[in-house]
Structure 1
Amino acid sequence: MLAAGGLTLAALTLGLSACAQEDALAKQARAGDNKNYVAGDGSVTEFAATDRKAPVQVTGTLFNGTAVTPADFQGKVTVLNFWFAACAPCRVEAPILEDLHQEFKDQGVQFFGVNLRDEKATAEAFDKTFGLTYPSFDDKDGGVLLAVSGIVPPGAVPTTLVLDKQGRVSARVLGEIERGTLKALIAAAVAE
Structure 2
Amino acid sequence: MSRRKLPIALAGLVAVAALALSGCTADDSLADQYREGSGKGYIAGDGSVTEIAAADRGESVEFEGTLEDGSTVSSADYEGEVLVVNFWYAGCAPCRAEAPDLKTISEEFAGEGASFLGVNVRDQAASAIAFNESYSISYPSVMDVDDGAMQLAFSGNIPPNAVPTTLVLDTSGRVAARILGQVNSPSILKTLIADAIAEDG
TM-score (norm 2): 0.81
Between 26-35 and 139-148, report the one with greater CA deviation. Answer: 26-35
**Aligned-partner Cα distance in 1 for 2:73–2:58:** 21
User: How far 1:104 sits from its partner (Å)?
Assistant: 0.3
User: How far 1:35 sits from its partner (Å)?
Assistant: 1.2
Identity of aligned residues (%): 54
SS of 1:75's equivalent in the other structure is coil
User: How far 1:21 sits from its partner (Å)?
Assistant: 4.2
Q: Does 1:184 align with 2:191?
A: yes
Return the match for 2:116 from 87, 108, 111. Answer: 111
Larger Rg: 1
User: How far 1:65 sits from its partner (Å)?
Assistant: 2.0
Between 102-111 and 66-75, report the one with greater CA deviation. Answer: 66-75
User: How far 1:24 sits from its partner (Å)?
Assistant: 1.4
Letter in 2 for 1:179: P
Alignment match, 1:62:
67
**Aligned-partner Cα distance in 1 for 2:89–2:104:** 19
Letter in 1 for 2:196: A
Letter in 1 for 2:190: K
TM-score (norm 1): 0.85
Alignment match, 1:41:
46
Distance 1:46 1:64, change over 3 A: same
Letter in 2 for 1:76: E
Are the aligned partners of 2:63 and 2:150 in contact in 1 as well (CA < 8 Å)?
yes
Are the aligned partners of 2:42 and 2:162 in contact in 1 as well (CA < 8 Å)?
yes
**Aligned-partner Cα distance in 2 for 1:63–1:109:** 21
Map 1:7-22; keep pairs closer than 5 Å.
Answer: 21-22=26-27
**Aligned-partner Cα distance in 1 for 2:44–2:157:** 15
**Aligned-partner Cα distance in 2 for 1:23–1:171:** 21
Alignment match, 1:170:
176
Between 53-62 and 21-30, report the one with greater CA deviation. Answer: 21-30
Distance 1:131 1:146, change over 3 A: same
Equivalences, count: 173
**Aligned-partner Cα distance in 1 for 2:105–2:81:** 15
Q: Does 1:102 align with 2:104?
A: no
Are the aligned partners of 1:161 and 1:172 in contact in 2 as well (CA < 8 Å)?
yes
Q: Structure 1 unaligned runs (5+)?
A: 1-19
Alignment match, 2:130:
125
SS of 1:148's equivalent in the other structure is helix
**Aligned-partner Cα distance in 2 for 1:25–1:172:** 16
Distance 1:23 1:47, change over 3 A: closer
Between 138-147 and 58-67, report the one with greater CA deviation. Answer: 58-67
**Aligned-partner Cα distance in 2 for 1:155–1:188:** 24
Q: Structure 2 unaligned runs (5+)?
A: 1-24
SS of 1:100's equivalent in the other structure is helix
